Amino acid sequence: MNAETQTTEYTIERLTSTNLADVERLYKAVYGRILPPGFLLKKYDTVFTAVKYVGFIAYNKQRTPIGYYGVIPCFMWIDDKRVLAAQSADTMTHPGYRNKGFFTELAQLTYALCRNNRINFVFGFPNQNSLPGFINKLGWQMTERMDCFIIPVNRSSWIRFFKKLPFVQRMLNRYQQVLLNRHSVQQHGVANSVFANGFGGVYRDYDYLNYKTYAPAKVIEMANSTLWVKAGTVLLIGDICLAPGDFDSMMYQVKKLASNLFVNEIHFHASPGTSLHHLFSERFKPIPSFPVIFKVLHGDYKLDEIKFTAADIDTF
C-alpha cells in the first residue's frame, strides 16, 4: 500500500503522527470547533494493537486538507479468542468539496490498509445521514440498532437557560469534574458487560482501558455497583459492572448524582438481548439509536452475536 496517491486535482496521504494536525484543521472547518490539544494524537495512537494511524487524508493543490477517513484498531473477544478488528471513526469532507467521491475513495483505501494489517473486520455506529453510503456504496451490513434509554432528571427551566451561557458552561464543567471525582474509583473503565450474556464484544483489557484514558470518562461507585460515565449536557452511562439485585438502588443514587451535576437527563445505549438492555427496558422506554454495521475483511463471524454498549462508541 503506497502512503501517497497523486491526482491532478488532489493528493491522498496515509495518516501519520506528523499530519494529524491537518485532521484537526479539517475538523474545525467541518464542525466549527477546535479539539483539545493532543486529543487526536492519543485517539489514533493504538500501538497496543501493533497497528496505528489507519486512515487517509486528501489535500487540494494548496495543501488544504479536504477529506479524511480513519479507523481505530482494537481487539474483540469472540468465541474465547482475541480478534483484531477496528472501529470506523472520523469521516469528514470539507464543506467546499462535498459530493466529489472523497468518502468512497478514502474508505476503500483504508479498508485495503486494514486488510494488509490483518484487521479482520471493521464495525461502526453511523448517523442516519451516513448509513446509506456505508450500506449502498461500501458494502457494509447492518445487524441491529442499539436502543437509547433516556431518564429525565427534574431540573428547573431557569437552570437550562443559564447553562447556555459560555462562562456558566465553563464553571459547570469544572464543578462536574470535581463532583465526579468524589465518587470515582482508581480504575480505568469497567469490564464489558456483554460477555456475561455469552456475546462477543470489545476486549477491554488493561492496555485498551489505559488507551481509553484519552477521553474524559470516569468510573464511579453507586450503591454496590461501578459505572463508567461521562458528564456533559447529559450524564452518559457507558457501561455498568452491576452487583446482583442492585439495579434499582444504583439508579436511585445515579439520579441523585445527575441532579447534583445539573444535567436534565441520563442516557444509556445498549444492544438488544443483553442483560442491561433487559433491566433498563423493564423500567424505561427504549428509543432506537445507533445502527450497528460491519464490513468483514477476513474470516467468517456470527456478527449478530457481537453486542455493544455506549462505552464502545469512539465518542465516549
**Amino acid letter for position 177:** Q
Question: How many other C-beta atoms are found inside a 10 Å radius of the C-beta of residue 297?
Answer: 18
- Based on the fold, state whether residues 264 and 186 are members of the same structural domain: yes
Grid cell in block for residue 258:
445527575
- Based on the fold, state whether residues 224 and 162 are members of the same structural domain: yes
Residue 207, domain extent: 147-289
**Amino acid letter for position 2:** N
- Looking at residue 102, its pLDDT comes to 81
With b for 16 or more beta-carbon neighbours within 10 A and e for fewer, the 124-136 pattern comes to bbbeeebbeebee
- Looking at residue 1, its pLDDT comes to 47
CA distances from 173 to 15, 221, 260 (A): 32, 20, 13
Query: Coil, strand or helix: which one is 160?
Result: helix
What does the pLDDT look like over 180-206, one tens digit per residue?
888 889 899 999 999 999 999 999 999
Residue 297 lies in a domain: no
- Based on the fold, state whether residues 156 and 112 are members of the same structural domain: no
- Based on the fold, state whether residues 90 and 198 are members of the same structural domain: no
Q: CA 114, CA 108: separation in Å to the nearest integer?
A: 10
Q: How confident is the model at residue 173 (pLDDT cuts 50, 70, 90)?
A: confident
- Based on the fold, state whether residues 205 and 247 are members of the same structural domain: yes
Residue 15 lies in a domain: yes
- Based on the fold, state whether residues 271 and 213 are members of the same structural domain: yes
Closest CA to 308 of 185, 158, 182, 204: 204
What does the pLDDT look like over 45-66, one tens digit per residue?
999 999 999 999 999 999 999 9
What does the pLDDT look like over 27-37, one tens digit per residue?
999 999 999 98
What does the pLDDT look like over 208-239, one tens digit per residue?
999 999 988 999 999 999 999 999 889 999 99
Residue 168 lies in a domain: yes
Q: CA 227, CA 169: separation in Å to the nearest integer?
A: 24
> Which residue bears the cell 460491519?
294
- Based on the fold, state whether residues 30 and 157 are members of the same structural domain: no
Residue 192 lies in a domain: yes
Indicate which CATH number applies to the domain containing 187. 3.40.630
- Looking at residue 183, its pLDDT comes to 86
Give the chain's domain count: 2
Name the percent of the chain lying above pLDDT 70.
92
Residue 37 lies in a domain: yes
Q: CA 198, CA 27: separation in Å to the nearest integer?
A: 38
Whole-model pTM over 0.85: yes
Residue 301 lies in a domain: no
